Amino acid sequence: MKVVNNFSWMIGGPQGTGIESSANLFAQACASAGLWVFGKREYHSNIKGKHSYFQVRVFDKPINSHVDDVHLLATFEDSTARLHAHEVVKGGALIYDPTKIMLDDLNLKSGVITLPIDFNTVLRHVAEVTGEDYGKLAIMKNVIAVAASMALLRMDISEMEETLNRLFTGKKARLIPTNMAAVKKAYEAVEALPQEIHNQFLYHLTPNKKMAKRLLINGASATAMGKLKAGCRYQTYYPISPATDESNFLESHPESGIAVVQCEDEIAAIDMALGAATTGVRASTATSGPGFALMQEGMGWGGMNEVPIVVFNYQRGGPSTGLPTRHEQGDLMFSAFGGHGEYPKLVMAPADIDDHFHVAFESFNYADKFQTPVMILNDKLLTHSLQTIPPFQESGLVIDRGRLATPEELEAAITEGKGFPRFRPDAKTVMSPRPYPGQEGSPYWMTGDEHDDYGHITENPEIRIKMHEKRLSKYKLMLEQIPQDKQFTLKGEKDADVTLVCWGSTSGLLLDAVEPLKEKGIKVNILNYRLLHPLPIATEKILKSAKKLILVESNWGTQLGHLIRMTTGVFIPNQVVKYTGRPMSLNEIVDAVEKLMKKEVKPEVDPLTGMTIEKVVLTYGL
- Report the run of H or E that residue 41 belongs to, with start and end: strand 36-42
105: DSSP letter: G
- 30 or 113: CB nearest other proteins: 30
Q: From the list 16, 91, 207, 275, which residue makes contact with other proteins (rule: CB under 8 A)?
A: 275
The window from 13-21, 47-55, 273-281, 341-349 that contacts other proteins (CB under 8 A) reads 273-281
* Residues from 317 through 376 that contact other proteins (CB under 8 A): 361
- 13 or 441: CB nearest other proteins: 441
- 91 or 448: CB nearest other proteins: 448
Phi, psi dihedral angles at 552 (to 5 degrees) = -125, 115
- 218 or 507: CB nearest other proteins: 218
Q: From the list 103, 176, 397, 430, which residue makes contact with other proteins (rule: CB under 8 A)?
A: 397
The window from 4-12, 75-83, 192-200, 222-230 that contacts other proteins (CB under 8 A) reads 222-230
Work out whether the CA dihedral 404, 408, 411, 412 comes out positive or negative.
negative
Residue type, position 467, single letter:
M
Q: From the list 216, 360, 517, 597, which residue makes contact with other proteins (rule: CB under 8 A)?
A: 216
* Residues from 408 through 427 that contact other proteins (CB under 8 A): 418-419
| CA proximity to 306, closest of 363, 345, 361 | 345
Residue 225 as a binder of other proteins (CB under 8 A): the answer is yes
- 326 or 434: CB nearest other proteins: 434
Residue 403 as a binder of other proteins (CB under 8 A): the answer is no
Q: How far apart are CA 277 and CA 323, in angstroms?
A: 32
* Residues from 10 through 29 that contact other proteins (CB under 8 A): 28
User: 241 CB contacts (<8 Å, ≥6 apart)?
Assistant: 45, 288, 316, 324, 325
2: DSSP letter: -
Residue 442 as a binder of other proteins (CB under 8 A): the answer is yes
Q: From the list 103, 157, 193, 263, which residue makes contact with other proteins (rule: CB under 8 A)?
A: 263
Burial 35-70 (b: 16+ CB within 10 A, else e): bbbbbbbbbeeeeeeebbbbbbbbbbebbbbbbebb
Is 346 in a helix, a strand, or coil?
strand
- 250 or 349: CB nearest other proteins: 250
Cα 490 to chain centroid, rounded = 20
Residue 402 as a binder of other proteins (CB under 8 A): the answer is no
- 19 or 260: CB nearest other proteins: 260
Residue type, position 306, single letter:
E
- Whether 105 contacts 80, CB under 8 Å: no
Residue 239 as a binder of other proteins (CB under 8 A): the answer is no
Binding-residue total with other proteins (CB under 8 A) = 75
- 128 or 156: CB nearest other proteins: 156
Work out whether the CA dihedral 378, 379, 380, 386 comes out positive or negative.
negative
- Whether 532 contacts 478, CB under 8 Å: no
CB of 610 to other proteins, least distance (A): 40
Q: How far apart are CA 24 and CA 412, in angstroms?
A: 59
Q: From the list 278, 473, 567, 587, which residue makes contact with other proteins (rule: CB under 8 A)?
A: 278
Residue 272 as a binder of other proteins (CB under 8 A): the answer is yes
Q: How far apart are CA 478 and CA 486, in angstroms?
A: 11
* Residues from 454 through 473 that contact other proteins (CB under 8 A): 455-457
The window from 1-9, 12-20, 100-108, 271-279 that contacts other proteins (CB under 8 A) reads 271-279
Residue 441 as a binder of other proteins (CB under 8 A): the answer is yes
**What are the DSSP calls for 273-311, one per residue?**
HHHHHTTT-EEEEEE-HHHHHHTHHHHHHHHHTT--EEE
Q: How far apart are CA 417 and CA 396, in angstroms?
A: 42
Residue 215 as a binder of other proteins (CB under 8 A): the answer is yes
Q: From the list 63, 228, 551, 577, which residue makes contact with other proteins (rule: CB under 8 A)?
A: 228
**What are the DSSP calls for 203-250, one per residue?**
EE----TTPPP-EEE-HHHHHHHHHHHHTEEEEEE---TTTHHHHHHH
| CA proximity to 557, closest of 328, 382, 291, 288 | 328
Q: From the list 118, 191, 265, 342, which residue makes contact with other proteins (rule: CB under 8 A)?
A: 265
CB of 408 to other proteins, least distance (A): 16
Q: From the list 254, 319, 407, 603, which residue makes contact with other proteins (rule: CB under 8 A)?
A: 254
Q: From the list 201, 234, 423, 503, which residue makes contact with other proteins (rule: CB under 8 A)?
A: 234
Q: From the list 58, 70, 152, 276, which residue makes contact with other proteins (rule: CB under 8 A)?
A: 276
Residue 221 as a binder of other proteins (CB under 8 A): the answer is yes
* Residues from 30 through 89 that contact other proteins (CB under 8 A): 31-32
Q: From the list 236, 432, 507, 528, which residue makes contact with other proteins (rule: CB under 8 A)?
A: 236
Q: From the list 96, 312, 423, 444, which residue makes contact with other proteins (rule: CB under 8 A)?
A: 444
Burial 239-251 (b: 16+ CB within 10 A, else e): ebbbbbbbbebbb
Residue 179 as a binder of other proteins (CB under 8 A): the answer is no
The window from 119-127, 207-215, 338-346, 512-520 that contacts other proteins (CB under 8 A) reads 207-215
Phi, psi dihedral angles at 71 (to 5 degrees) = -95, -25
Q: How far apart are CA 210 and CA 137, in angstroms?
A: 37
The window from 51-59, 85-93, 195-203, 277-285 that contacts other proteins (CB under 8 A) reads 277-285
Q: From the list 52, 388, 489, 525, which residue makes contact with other proteins (rule: CB under 8 A)?
A: 388
Residue 516 as a binder of other proteins (CB under 8 A): the answer is no
Q: From the list 144, 258, 347, 498, which residue makes contact with other proteins (rule: CB under 8 A)?
A: 258
